[in-house]
Chains A and B, each alone.
Chain A
Amino acid sequence: MFETLMDLRVQLQTAMIVILFLAALRWGAVPEKLVAGLLAAMIVFHVGYHSLVGGAIVLAGVDLGHVAIDLALLVALGAVALHANRVYPLWLTAAQLISVFSYAYRYLDGEGQLGRGPYDVMATLPFYLCVLFAWVGFVRHVLRRRHHGDYPSWSAATAGRHRDGSVRN
């Protein structure tokens, strides 16, 4: 059972992201759509990169294509996290930060003295966490809207535009 799950984990992960994306398009607000869209785009770019290069571009044990994709995702998720009127993008960005730092870890440990295990965990686990956090955030958004009605997608505090320059909470 566990082995089957491990074998199918990529397909399961892709399916979860596709379902989340479609659900976000239907019931989500802009931040949910953006987050789900970014995760879906990452899958597309990842597949496209390997198809285009026909393998991987590796430097000192680090896949440069993955670094570029993960960095781009970190920046995009960070932008959403800083401006959205939500908490869960912070968790996604934190997980993605771990993923990006795993490349530095791998690069600095060029000789492989520290072993590949921690690197693999740091590189792969965060993306599963991202999918989990995105789902949790989406469900919480839907429940919140059902109970309290519509609420702003973006934080007025980080937008920095307020009457008399004050921030209301």
Chain B
Amino acid sequence: MGEIVSACESALQLNDVFENLTDKQHEVLALVGDNFTSKEIAYELGISVSAVNQRIETVRARAGSLSRLELARAYREFLQEQDDEQTQRREEAEEGSSTAPVTREQDPAPPGADADELTGEPDGACVDDAACHDCERWPGRDLAAGQLQIVRVQPPSAQAERAAVGLGGQRTVRGGAGALAGTLRGRKRTPGPVPALLDGHNARLGRMAAIVVIAFGLLLVSATGLGVLHSLAELF
């Protein structure tokens, strides 16, 4: 029993750690979770291997010196949980939008939801059944007259919409760390310093050809420049 409790506590601590990571740390950990090596992560993100290792070590230190393998597993589980939560929230939002997006105050908003919350109360007319033809949609219609009830109207949040269409921003740790990992693959990397032609398949051959072409180009430019200089010297 004690072991189960301590396991739960450590899982919660890890979730806290993961939720408070920076975007860069999330980027690296998402790839660690996919079992990329540091070198591959460095290449993928366009940063140095030492920067990758430094970010991993920082997270490991916070997470209680887990091994890299354990860290990868824990992060995968964290992402899975985030995905599940997000799916559940989306389903709830869809259900809500099919009827009226109204929830009771007692039903707390999901953590991290950044929707503008409209707090209102049913007007007096709605307490009177005859005066409001849509009163069945008010959950508090059977309350005694004069008793106020606070309800919250939640429009679908912009963040949830972004996550739903796969455009989860970088700052969606609580609501969309899974979306972050998902969009990482599709995001546009900072272009490398070397053109793809010289850095893809047959890179060596391409580079050798480039050297020869550049050499001929330099010779041509030099010869042309000298010719022009010679002509100018003859003119004056």
Beyond A82-B204, A82-B208, A94-B212, whether A155 also contacts B190 by CB under 8 A is no
Chain B residues closer than 8 Å to A169, beta-carbon distance: 192, 196, 199-200
Which of A85, A93, A155 has the largest number of chain B CB atoms within 10 A? A155
> Which parts of A144-169 form the interface with B (CB within 8 Å)?
144, 148-153, 155-158, 162-163, 167-169
Dominant secondary structure of chain B at its interface with chain A: helix
Q: Which of B39, B199, B208, B222 interacts with A125 by CB under 8 Å? A: B222
B211, CB-defined interface residue at 8 Å: yes
Neighbouring A residues of B219 by C-beta, 8 Å: 98, 122
Within the assembled complex, what's the spacing in Å between the Cα atoms of A168 and B128? 67
Tell which of A90, A125, A168 touches B207, judged by Cβ atoms closer than 8 Å.
Answer: A90
Q: Which residues of B contact A39 (CB under 8 A)?
A: none
CB pair B215 A95 closer than 8 Å = yes
Nearest Cβ in chain B — how far from A128, in angstroms? 11
Q: In the complex, which residues of chain B have a beta carbon less than 8 angstroms from the beta carbon of A167?
A: 200-201
Q: B26-55, CB under 8 A of A: which get 1 and which 0?
A: 000000000011011011101111110000
Picked from B43, B210, B226, the residue with its CB within 8 Å of the CB of A168 is B43
Number of residues of chain B lying within 8 A (CB) of chain A: 38
- The answer to whether A144 touches B204 (Cβ under 8 A) is no
Within 8 Å by CB of A151, from B192, B200, B217, B222, lies B192
Tell which of A97, A152, A153, A163 touches B212, judged by Cβ atoms closer than 8 Å.
Answer: A97
Chain A interface, DSSP helix/strand/loop, else mixed: helix
Residue of B nearest to A150 (CB): B48
- Report whether A86 and B194 are in contact in the complex, using a CB–CB cutoff of 8 Å: yes
**A158 & B204 in contact (Cβ 8 Å cutoff):** yes
The B-contacting residues of A in range 71-88, CB under 8 angstroms, are 78, 81-82, 85-87
Q: At the interface, yes or no: B153 with Cβ under 8 Å from chain A?
A: no
- Are A85 and B193 closer than 8 Å at their CB atoms? yes
Q: Is B198 an interface residue (CB 8 A)?
A: yes
How far in angstroms is the closest Cβ of chain A from B19? 24
B100 at interface by CB-CB < 8 Å: no
A150 to B43, CA, bound (A): 11
Q: Any chain A CB within 8 A of the CB of B203?
A: yes
Whether A129 contacts B49 in the complex (CB less than 8 A), given A82-B204, A163-B40, comes out as: no
Known contacts A148-B46, A151-B48, A156-B43; is A93 also within 8 Å of B211 by CB?
yes
Task: Give chain A nearest CB distance to B115 CB in angstroms.
Answer: 34
CA distance A140 to B208 in the complex (A): 22
- Per CB-CB distance, the 5 closest pairs between chain A and chain B, nearest first, are A94-B214, A94-B215, A150-B48, A157-B203, A97-B215
Chain B residues close to A by CB (< 8 Å): 36-37, 39-40, 42-44, 46-51, 190, 192-196, 198-201, 203-204, 207-208, 210-215, 217-219, 222, 226
Query: Would you give 11 A-B contacts (Cβ < 8 Å), ordered by A?
Result: A82-B203, A82-B204, A87-B194, A94-B211, A148-B46, A152-B48, A157-B199, A157-B201, A157-B203, A158-B203, A169-B199
